[in-house]
Amino acid sequence: MSALRLSPGRAAETTSAPAPGSPAISVDAVTKVYGPRGNHTFALDRISLEVAPGEFCCLVGASGCGKSTLLNLLAGLDSPAAGTVAVHGRTSLMFQESALFPWLSVRGNINLALRLAGVPKGERYDRASELLRMVRLKGFGGKRPHELSGGMRQRVALARSLAQNASVLLMDEPFGALDAITRDLLHDELERVWQETGLSVVFVTHNVREAVRLGDRVLVLSSRPGRVVDEFPVDIPRPRRLDDAEVSSLSGTITDRLRQEVRRHGA
Amino acid sequence: MALEIQDPPVLSDREAEIAGLDALDVPLASARGKLARAWEGLWPKLTALGLFLFAWQAIVWSHWKPDYVLPGPMTVLNKMWHDLVDTGGAAGPHVLLHAAGTTMQRAVVGYGMSVVIGVVVGLAVSRSRILRAGVGSMITGLQTMPTIAWLPLAVLLFKLSETAITFVVVMGAAPAIANGVISGVDHIPPVLLRAGRVLGARGLSAYRFIILPAALPGLVAGLKQGWAFAWRSLMAGELIVIIAHKPSLGVRLQNARDFSDAPGLMAAMLAIFVIGVVIDSLFFGVLERGIRRRWGLGSR
């Protein structure tokens, strides 16, 4: 029944205005443990990282690297056993499933997010229209989630996240369930929205190429315990394409590093 | 940090690609008309009804029982029509209509109370580990308990009164509704609850905006089952708790038996059946189909 508990643990410490030059997110020596005392596993072990305001930061790692745990901590849905998590401004979290509410229309989903974010009633309609236009779904506001394709649903989910007026967007493999053509187009769309909004993004993925295509920086996480083991700045000029030679070559380097990490568990 | 939102550039290649993909990806809706679908649902029902009436008539024709014990469908329908429209019978004008009116009034009161109690108890139990452990299985137990078993206690507690009938209806229906709510909440996909938390729905607003609407399919199933239980309990109650000068469907049944009035008895039975079916399929059926359609759960 744990999934049904909506009451949050201690939320991540949030402050509103980031001081100039200070990071949007800073995670310092955070540890998170699962399982009973004596037989526990470290989901995260003294993990530290920082994300600059407006930065697009990608996290890649094999299974069990504690990516979802980390995102939950950043979103304030969970609290760390040790260490500190500081986030400037509100966070929003997108999942692999769009998690749109099936009892509401597309516009209704966005409206609810606006309402819960405290946007006054009179402003919601126009704001929702703006957001729909931003994700190029003008005219789809009256549709139900099940009437849309997977890619469109993720764009609605993106609009719903933007409706929270967050300054940090957390994404948990948001395009993992989409076909390659749709995913490719959504990379462009996400990049455009990110550039227009100036959001800080933390993007978790299994797909190294996707990380290099999108990120300003790619962090490689180790598994059990989760830790940042390596960091690759991506200095390839935008716009990038998945099949750019530079993207391929950096992806290869990062993949090699990831495999090395995975091998450690086989030995 | 405010978001600066601008229009995407007008009709770029990218826009055309996105629009093209959207157009290709959107699931196709069924093209069948409303009338065709209505007929598709109607004709099997009509056929079944026809077959039932024919089988009934065939048994009467076989002279298995004498006509005054087992009348044919035409006799019963005639009697029913007569009881509905006749203005000056021995039992008063429009006797069946009056009886059905009293019964429906009791049904509304009893069922209404059951809904309130069932939903409140269901929500409380589904969200509290302690209540669930303590009361959860008791609710299921209550649901399996035959209503008729409550009747003697109801009469002891409340004498032969309206309250006794309401008590029995609530004991029959409320556990079914509570169980529906519990299973509705249990079947909410966890990702929707997570999404609700991320959007900032906490406490009461979580119930209002996320949990209640998300539990709606289960809730409606529970309400529907609760109605069936309420209707059955009500009939049991009315057969036993007979209140003077209050013609009800139960009283009609009892009187007809006492006077060996087989057509009158079966006319009352038919009325009970028709009311039950109409509320089940017209009210709850439409509600359920509406939800299924809106949620995209496929239509039945």
Residues of chain B neighbouring A6 (CB-CB closer than 8 A): 193, 196-197, 201-203, 206, 210-211
What ipTM, to 2 d.p.?
0.84
- Looking at residue A89, its pLDDT comes to 86
Q: Note whether residue B206 is domain-resident.
A: yes
Q: Note whether residue B7 is domain-resident.
A: no
| B25 and chain A in contact, CB less than 8 A | yes
Taking residues A67-75, report their average pLDDT.
88
| B1 and chain A in contact, CB less than 8 A | yes
Query: In whole angstroms, what separates CA A78 from the centre of its chain?
Result: 16
CB contact under 8 A, A1 and B132: yes
Residues of chain A neighbouring B287 (CB-CB closer than 8 A): none
**B21 has pLDDT over 90:** no
Beta bridge partners of A92: A169
Sheet with strand A200-205: strands edge to edge: A91-94, A168-172, A200-205, A56-61, A217-222, A227-233
Q: Which residue has the higher pLDDT, A106 or B22?
A: A106
Q: What is the pLDDT of residues A140-188, one digit of tens each?
A: 999 999 999 999 999 999 999 999 989 999 999 999 889 988 999 999 9
CB contact under 8 A, A7 and B209: no
Q: Note whether residue B64 is domain-resident.
A: no
Instruction: Note if the pTM is more than 0.90.
Output: no
Instruction: List the single residue in B18, B26, B200 with the smallest CB-CB distance to A148.
Output: B26
CB contact under 8 A, B25 and A149: yes
Domain that holds residue B112: 93-294
Taking residues B152-156, report their average pLDDT.
93
Q: Which of B174, B182, B193, B173 is nearest to B219 (CA)?
A: B182
| A147 and chain B in contact, CB less than 8 A | yes
Q: What is the pLDDT of residues B221-266, one digit of tens each?
A: 999 999 999 999 999 999 888 887 888 898 888 888 899 899 989 9
Q: Cα–Cα distance between A87 and A72 in angstroms, integer?
A: 12
Query: In whole angstroms, what separates CA B41 from the centre of its chain?
Result: 19
Distance to chain A for B210, nearest Cα, Å: 8
- Look at the block and give the residue holding tokens 């995260």: A44
What the block records as the tokens of B228 is 């069936």
Q: What is the CATH number of the domain that holds B171?
A: 1.10.3720.10
| B2 and chain A in contact, CB less than 8 A | yes
Q: Note whether residue B181 is domain-resident.
A: yes
- Looking at residue A1, its pLDDT comes to 31
Amino acid code (one letter) for B201? A
Amino acid code (one letter) for A215? G
Half-sphere exposure of A36 (CA within 13 A, CB side): 2
Amino acid code (one letter) for B243? I
Q: What is the pLDDT of residues B56-70, one digit of tens each?
A: 999 999 999 898 889
- Looking at residue A52, its pLDDT comes to 93
Work out the pLDDT band at B11, boundaries 50, 70, 90. low
Q: Note whether residue B239 is domain-resident.
A: yes
| A150 and chain B in contact, CB less than 8 A | yes
Q: Cα–Cα distance between B121 and B72 in angstroms, integer?
A: 46
SS3 string, A106-147, reads HHHHHHHHHHHCCCCHHHHHHHHHHHHHHCCCCCCCCCCHHH
Instruction: List the single residue in B26, B126, B129 with the smallest CB-CB distance to A149.
Output: B26
- % of chain A with per-residue pLDDT over 70: 91
| A189 and chain B in contact, CB less than 8 A | yes
- Looking at residue A34, its pLDDT comes to 80
Q: What is the pLDDT of residues A230-266, one digit of tens each?
A: 999 999 998 899 999 999 999 999 999 999 888 887 7
- Looking at residue A183, its pLDDT comes to 92
Q: Note whether residue B75 is domain-resident.
A: no
What the block records as the tokens of A129 is 């229209």
Q: Note whether residue B144 is domain-resident.
A: yes
Beta bridge partners of A93: A170
In contact, A17 and A58? CB cutoff 8 Å: no
Q: Note whether residue B149 is domain-resident.
A: yes
Distance to chain B for A143, nearest Cα, Å: 10
| B125 and chain A in contact, CB less than 8 A | no
Paired sense of beta strands A56-61 and A217-222, if any: parallel
What the block records as the tokens of A228 is 């940042």
Contacts with B256 (C-beta within 8 Å, 6 or more apart), sequence order:
B262, B264, B265, B268
Amino acid code (one letter) for B239? L
Q: Cα–Cα distance between A249 and A234 in angstroms, integer?
A: 11
Considering its fold, how many domains does chain B have in total?
1
